[in-house]
Amino acid sequence: KAGVTQTPRYLIKTRGQQVTLSCSPISGHRSVSWYQQTPGQGLQFLFEYFSETQRNKGNFPGRFSGRQFSNSRSEMNVSTLELGDSALYLCASSLLTSGSPYNEQFFGPGTRLTVL
Amino acid sequence: AQTVTQSQPEMSVQEAETVTLSCTYDTSENNYYLFWYKQPPSRQMILVIRQEAYKQQNATENRFSVNFQKAAKSFSLKISDSQLGDTAMYFCAFGDGSARQLTFGSGTQLTVLP
């Protein structure tokens, strides 16, 4: 079974632009979470999507948004890019079955975004 | 809000020896999960081991084991018979409820020396 895939793997943008990152979960997984990893702030939770609805959201400005499609693939969008948005963006998928107390998150390889 | 603290930014260990990575956390939750993730230079996050808070028995996975002290809010990772492939950044993480939102520590860079 293929793992979580993220595209593109590397991206260079300039300040003020917007960017869209894509995440394809493991087949059958219904939940997708996004994390931002920077040297200064570490790993921080952005948001989680399940059944095309945002279920949880971290403490990030409204410039960060996302969506999930009916096939569980997810995209995140960052508008009006700032230098501080340079980071590794990781997505993780989980099965999320009803009645299960725990759902392991499987991470993708990440998208490295550089904002110049 | 939960916090996770890893006080050892870097550690090194000789191949075949044992090393312990420390992690403390703070939460008011009673039901939660704790995890150790490994991030090698490839940046792929890999789950090493998890612990359910309601279980008193410490989790073990082959050469990896944890020392979970719920009252002290401490969760350390012991790596036995260290291998070169264990060289990576190790993150301690907290997940409440169904662990759909993880809070990570700042990480410990472990280097296994030949």
Q: Tens digit of pLDDT for each residue in A32-69? A: 999 999 998 999 999 999 989 998 899 999 999 999 99
Asked if A36 is an interface residue toward chain B (Cβ–Cβ < 8 A), one would say no
CA distance A3 to A32: 13
Which positions in chain B touch A100 (Cβ < 8 Å)?
Answer: 98
Question: Is B100–A109 a contact, with Cβ atoms under 8 angstroms apart?
Answer: no
Question: Is A110–B50 a contact, with Cβ atoms under 8 angstroms apart?
Answer: no
- Give the closest-approach CA distance of B101 to chain A in angstroms: 7
Question: Is B100–A103 a contact, with Cβ atoms under 8 angstroms apart?
Answer: yes
| DSSP H or E segment with residue B53 | none
* pLDDT for residue B96: 79
- Give the closest-approach CA distance of A56 to chain B in angstroms: 7
Which positions in chain A touch B37 (Cβ < 8 Å)?
Answer: 107
Residue among A44, A90, A100 minimizing CB distance to B45: A90
Q: Count how many pairs of residues, chain A against chain B, have C-beta atoms within 8 Å.
A: 58
CA distance A15 to B111: 36
Query: Which of B2, B1, B64 shows the shortest CA–CA distance to B36?
Result: B64
SS (H, E, C) B91-114: EEEEEECCCCCEEECCCEEEEEEC
Asked if A5 is an interface residue toward chain B (Cβ–Cβ < 8 A), one would say no
The alpha carbon dihedral of B103, A88, A48, A83 has a sign of positive
Q: Which residue of B has its CA nearest to A41?
A: B106
- Give the closest-approach CA distance of B86 to chain A in angstroms: 18
Query: Which of B78, B90, B102, B82 shows the shortest CA–CA distance to B38?
Result: B90
* pLDDT for residue A98: 62
CA distance B81 to A24: 36
Which residue matches tokens 């359910």?
B52
Query: Which of A68, A62, A63, A25 shows the shortest CA–CA distance to A49?
Result: A68
Mean pLDDT score, A15-42 = 95
DSSP assignment of A73-87 = -EEEEE-S--GGG-E
CA distance A73 to A51: 10
Q: Tens digit of pLDDT for each residue in A85-110? A: 999 999 999 987 666 667 788 999 99
CA distance A64 to A48: 12
Q: Tens digit of pLDDT for each residue in B46-74? A: 999 999 998 889 999 999 999 999 999 99
